A and B are shown apart, each in its own frame.
Chain A
Amino acid sequence: MSMDVEENKTSRKVEHYVDPTPFNPAVTEEMTPEQERYFQASQWQIMWWKFKRHKLAVWSGVILILFYLCVPFAEVIAPYTANSRDSLHLFAPPQKLHLFDDGKFVGPFVYGMTSEIDMETLQWVFEDNPDQVQPIRYFCRGANYKFWNLFTADFHLFCPAKGGTLFLLGTDRLGRDQLSGLVYGARLSLTVGLIGVTISIVLGLFFGGIAGYFGGILDSAIQRMIEIIRSMPELPLWMALSAALPVTWAPVWIYFGLTIILGLLDWPGLARAVRSKLLSLREEEYAKAAVLMGAKPKRVITRHLLPGFTSHIIASATLSIPSMILGETALSYLNLGLRRPSVSWGVLLNEAQNISVVTIYPWLMAPVIPIIIVVLAFNFLGDGLRDAADPYK
């Protein structure tokens, strides 16, 4: 009312004036572009922004992607196949990469090796032969392989010079190339964790979901079961279970049996996380509203509660992958898991069983390096994901 009167008064005194700039009624609480972007972004987008700020986790993710490239393309990346033997180069030491020969630039090459038997120790002794310069070939045709067991091919990313050798990480007791073994081994070692974690997530969601949503006797029974499983030492149980896998099984079945075993003992941790999250989420208003509107438990859990903690599950699953990779390695190392002709990092380490082998042929321990890198990377990635999982904090 008074506004009108005022306006009338002013209009009488001054000529009617209109400010041409558009008027924004929310001028006091205007958002900066960043804020606007933030408030309009979806939950997953915010998580991604938060995750990107964790530099270590991002780099770990990149490294892991590089490692996982070995899984589909192992045949192309490896210069040899995993089980091909070179009977002339048993226990050959790693060949060093050189760039210059006699002060002349040749590009990456290795010197050929001459081998001799030392009659005193009965060992092969290898020495570089500076006359033989063997440049590495790229995008070349080399050893034959069956790509994905489907068709024969011979294309490699890089291969030894024609008639030469290329053992960048040495060979084992049957003359098998270690580097190729590592590349092929990544296929099993890296996927064992993924499949195992999938099994463990399914079990964890199921038991944790039941315990958290229904409560009561079911809850305490499942809680007791979780406590008992968690109080048992994992490795002896894994050993016993994988010893129970029949030796006559095909390698593929042994592999799946192993992943199931690894997943079977891992779910209690996830189930606990799911349960405690469910307990807090089911008290939220929107969950109660859904129940009052007559939604069935299955719908409430999967449509209303699950999206609230998917991110947490992914984070804690990432953190439990390394323990599975290590579990497989330990079992294969002990001869209880995978066996040749399957190749995994644990199977390769199996060659380094006793101390005398390790001291004479230290390059047999090479699989240790990728294992440590992958486990570290998963740990950092998991840390980053866990921080990002709660973006509104």
Chain B
Amino acid sequence: MLYYIIRRILMMVPTLLVISLMTFFIIELPTGDYISNQIAALKATGEQSSIAKLEFQLKEFSLDRPFFERYLIWVGLWPGPHGLDGLIQGNWGWSFEFDKPVDEVVGPTLPLTIVLNFATILFVYIVSFPIGIYSATRQYSWGDYGFTFIGYFGLATPNFLLALILLYLFNQWFGLSVGGLMAPEYIDQPWSFAKAMSVLGHLIVPTIVIGTSGTAAMIRRLRANLLDELHKQYVTTGRAKGLKEGQLLVKYPLRMAINPFIADIGNLIPSLVSGSVIVSVVMSLPTVGPVLLSALQSQDQFLSGFILLFVAVLTLIGMLISDLLLAVLDPRIRLGGRASS
């Protein structure tokens, strides 16, 4: 098991390198950079005084060097103006727009981003598991049809539109403001039980909104997998031997069907993270989503680069966890590596 975990984590290193290179390439795509653009703008207006400061910054952030050198400096594998000082060393870069280090800008939003994403994954697991089993064991019942119908709508409605519609309906029916992290009266108040409850209440809607399409997909998967297993002969054999229906289900077919279920959650994580970014923008939740949007619009490259990388790492960790879970549940995977080597 330990061997498997280590191997799996080591496999992440090249992936991370490729992803960081891609991220850096993408954020460098726009012509020019924040500072060069500012210098150009100042030169156009004929203002000379602050150019010197900006040119110093240009050197300071080594924006004048070739692409690969800049990339390596950013990651921290190449000595920049201050020696090895990059992501690996814990320097996340500088946000030009806010004129602050990136970690001060994003720092407060990171915990909520992580909490929101993991809450969503948990929601998908908890909701889709029983419904999937119900739909498979009572195929073509009214409940099954109902869930299939809701599921199709969940898949078809883009999550940010769902957020918009829910915002409207909640406001219309209950007069509730669902946007934001907490009710307006708690902002700038010291933490109290009521405030915590308000935050919790405001997190429920985004969790549902982000998780709906994933849940719908998972219900369909689990239902299909379980239906395949339920028609196999060992189930009939078990039934013939007089096993109780519930016991039979949990002991054999469910164990077989649960493997792809967990593996698929890993595949679902990227889209969940995507959803959390846009839903946060719509519902004005203080996660990395809105920060990323403004950073991209103002071409604040180190800030947007860091957030893109952070989001990618978050997905990778999520997939790692789902892989490890799979290994715990399925000895074939856990021992497969050792048997072949």
Closest to B180 in A: A355
Q: Among B188-196, B252-260, B303-311, which stretch is in contact with chain A?
A: B303-311
Q: Does B136 contact A (CB under 8 A)?
A: no
Shortest C-beta distance, B312 to chain A (Å), equals 5
CA gap between A110 and B137 in the complex, in Å: 53
Choice from A228, A236, A335, A365 contacting B292 with Cβ under 8 Å: A236
**Residues of the A chain whose Cβ atoms lie less than 8 Å from the Cβ of B296:** 239-240, 243, 336
Contact across chains for A365 and B164 when beta carbons are under 8 A apart: yes
What mask results when residues 213 to 240 of chain A are scored 1 for a CB within 8 Å of chain B, else 0? 0000000000000011011111111011
Q: Which of B155-213 contact A (CB under 8 A)?
A: 155-158, 160-161, 164-165, 167-168, 171-172, 177, 179
Choice from A233, A334, A375 contacting B311 with Cβ under 8 Å: A233
Closest to A248 in B: B31
Q: Does B19 contact A (CB under 8 A)?
A: yes
**Residues of the B chain whose Cβ atoms lie less than 8 Å from the Cβ of A362:** 168
CA gap between A336 and B299 in the complex, in Å: 12
**Residues of the A chain whose Cβ atoms lie less than 8 Å from the Cβ of B168:** 355, 358-359, 362, 365
**Residues of the B chain whose Cβ atoms lie less than 8 Å from the Cβ of A379:** 152, 155-156
CA gap between A234 and B155 in the complex, in Å: 16
Q: Does B335 contact A (CB under 8 A)?
A: no
Chain B contact-residue range equals 35 or more
Q: Does B247 contact A (CB under 8 A)?
A: no
- The residue among A240, A241, A326 with the most chain B CB atoms within 10 A of its own CB is A240
Choice from A231, A329, A336 contacting B315 with Cβ under 8 Å: A231
Contact across chains for B171 and A359 when beta carbons are under 8 A apart: yes
Q: Does B278 contact A (CB under 8 A)?
A: yes
Q: Does A293 contact B (CB under 8 A)?
A: no
- The residue among A232, A333, A379 with the most chain B CB atoms within 10 A of its own CB is A232
Once A233-B312, A371-B158 are accepted as A-B contacts, the answer to whether A244 and B26 lie under 8 Å apart by CB is: yes
Once A228-B15, A236-B311, A239-B293 are accepted as A-B contacts, the answer to whether A334 and B31 lie under 8 Å apart by CB is: no
Contact across chains for A371 and B161 when beta carbons are under 8 A apart: yes
Q: Does A106 contact B (CB under 8 A)?
A: no
Q: Does A258 contact B (CB under 8 A)?
A: no
Contact across chains for A232 and B164 when beta carbons are under 8 A apart: no
**Residues of the B chain whose Cβ atoms lie less than 8 Å from the Cβ of A235:** 274-275, 277-278
Closest to B292 in A: A236
Shortest C-beta distance, A64 to chain B (Å), equals 13
**Residues of the A chain whose Cβ atoms lie less than 8 Å from the Cβ of B133:** none
Once A335-B297, A355-B167, A368-B161 are accepted as A-B contacts, the answer to whether A237 and B278 lie under 8 Å apart by CB is: no
Q: Among B91-99, B139-147, B232-240, B265-273, which stretch is in contact with chain A?
A: B265-273
- The residue among B19, B164, B179, B307 with the most chain A CB atoms within 10 A of its own CB is B164
Q: Which of A328-375 contact B (CB under 8 A)?
A: 329-330, 333-336, 349, 352, 355, 358-359, 362, 365, 368, 371-372, 375
CA gap between A329 and B275 in the complex, in Å: 13
Contact across chains for B30 and A243 when beta carbons are under 8 A apart: yes
Q: Does B285 contact A (CB under 8 A)?
A: no
Contact across chains for A237 and B26 when beta carbons are under 8 A apart: yes
**Residues of the B chain whose Cβ atoms lie less than 8 Å from the Cβ of A227:** 15
Closest to A322 in B: B156
Choice from B31, B157, B164, B271 contacting A233 with Cβ under 8 Å: B271
Contact across chains for A330 and B271 when beta carbons are under 8 A apart: no
**Residues of the A chain whose Cβ atoms lie less than 8 Å from the Cβ of B152:** 376, 379
CA gap between A255 and B278 in the complex, in Å: 21
Q: 9 shortest A-B CB distances, which residue pairs? A: A235-B274, A244-B29, A243-B296, A233-B273, A375-B156, A376-B156, A233-B274, A233-B270, A326-B158
A selection of 18 A-B contacts at a CB cut-off of 8 Å is A228-B19, A232-B270, A232-B312, A235-B275, A235-B277, A236-B273, A236-B277, A239-B293, A243-B296, A244-B29, A244-B30, A330-B158, A349-B161, A355-B168, A365-B164, A365-B168, A368-B161, A372-B161
The residues of B with any CB-CB pair to A shorter than 8 Å are 15, 18-19, 22-23, 26-27, 29-31, 152-153, 155-158, 160-161, 164-165, 167-168, 171-172, 177, 179, 267, 270-271, 273-275, 277-278, 281, 292-293, 296-297, 299, 304, 307-308, 311-312, 315-316, 319
Q: What 18 additional pairs, Cβ within 8 angstroms, besides A329-B158, A333-B160, A358-B168?
A: A227-B15, A228-B19, A231-B19, A233-B312, A236-B277, A236-B308, A239-B292, A241-B29, A243-B30, A244-B29, A330-B278, A336-B297, A355-B171, A358-B167, A359-B171, A365-B165, A365-B168, A379-B155
